[in-house]
Amino acid sequence: MLHLRVIAPPGRTDEVCKVLDACLGATNVVVLPDAARRPAGDVVLADVARESANEVIAGLQALDVHRDGSIALDDIDVSISEVADRAEALAPGHGDDAVIWRQLDERTADETRLTWAFVIFLTLATQLAGIAAMIDSPILVVGAMVLGPEFGTVAAMCYGLVFRDPRRVVRALGTMAAGFALAIVITFVCALVSRWIGVIELDRLPESRPLTAFIYSPDRWSFIVALLAGAAGVLSVTAGKSSALVGVFISVTTVPAAGNLAVALALEHWSEITGSVLQLLVNLAGMVLAGVVTLVAQRVGWDIVQKRQTRARARTTGE
């Protein structure tokens, strides 16, 4: 269940309550007259099943509540209420399968911003991957994968492509490109300085790396894994299952490829540069493609569920 807080502008509280009354998944409605000060209005509280959130948000936005008032949704960790249980049972579909499109919109919008935190985490992950390449350590490769924050920009690109928002796609692509460019340059400079002061040698990057050679050796399995990871990543974001993202991070070799590219450039191992670039691009392309397909499937599926619910409600009302 989700907790809904609405600041209803003066004169629109009854309309807000009608939207909630019409939703089978909404319950525990509370009205606090004149409780809001800025903006001024009544405060309406309710519990809403996750699978009914899109219906409620659409109804409230049709009243322009979001322009003159406020709409906020929070997760409820514990709900002890038989009334709420009945509302959740009446709501269409299942909560874990529901996609709150407005929530996904705001979350992916945040991921398009090039922040210092994004650059720092990506740089640290790329440096770990560079060290993993030099010592042929799969453990460090996994650590670099988990630390990399790049999937947020992938999800933002998928959302922009599905909802035809070219500005978001461009911003996400720019953030990803700038982040990887900075991370690779910084890792390259660190490796170059280490080479100059004698910490690492030209032959430090071994030709034969049985444990980490996959970083710079893309093949059909690289693309297949990227497809699976992209689908799982988008599902974990839309369903609010953040724990599944860890598995996604470990599955793709975007950051390890970037780290290997930086070290290969610094140590003049030209044979690995092309492979690293291809591995990076193959993984990103596979994740974006799978993410788009997954979002389209979810959108179509929930449209069907909503239409069936509308028809069922119309038949009930007619009877």
Three-state DSSP class for 45?
strand
- What are the extents of the domains in the chain? 2-98, 103-303
User: Highest mean pLDDT range out of 126-135, 167-176, 252-261?
Assistant: 167-176
> Is the confidence at residue 253, as pLDDT, over 90?
no
More confident residue, 205 or 265: 265
pLDDT, tens digit, for every residue of 163-217?
A: 999 999 999 999 999 999 999 999 999 988 888 887 777 666 666 778 888 888 8
> CA 97 to CA 40: how far, in whole Å?
36
Question: According to the model, what pLDDT value does residue 242 have?
Answer: 62
What is the model's pLDDT at position 312? Answer: 58
Whether 319 has a pLDDT exceeding 50, the answer reads: no
Q: Return the CATH architecture of domain 2-98.
A: 2-Layer Sandwich (3.30)
pLDDT band at 79 (very low <50, low <70, confident <90, very high): confident
Q: Are 24 and 86 in contact (CB under 8 A)?
A: no
Rounded percentage of the chain residues whose pLDDT exceeds 70: 89
Q: What is the mean pLDDT of residues 93-105?
A: 80
Residue 62 is classified by DSSP as: H
Alpha helices in 33-73 (DSSP H): 53-62, 65-68
pLDDT at residue 295 above 80? Answer: yes
Per-residue pLDDT, averaged over 114-141, amounts to 92
For residues 241 and 190, which has the higher predicted lDDT (pLDDT)?
190
Q: What DSSP line would sit under 292-318, residue for residue?
A: HHHHHHHHHHHHHHHHHHHHHHHHHHH
* Beta-bridge partners for 132: none
Please say if the pLDDT value at position 99 is more than 90.
no
Mean pLDDT (whole number) for 149-155:
91
Average pLDDT, the chain: 87
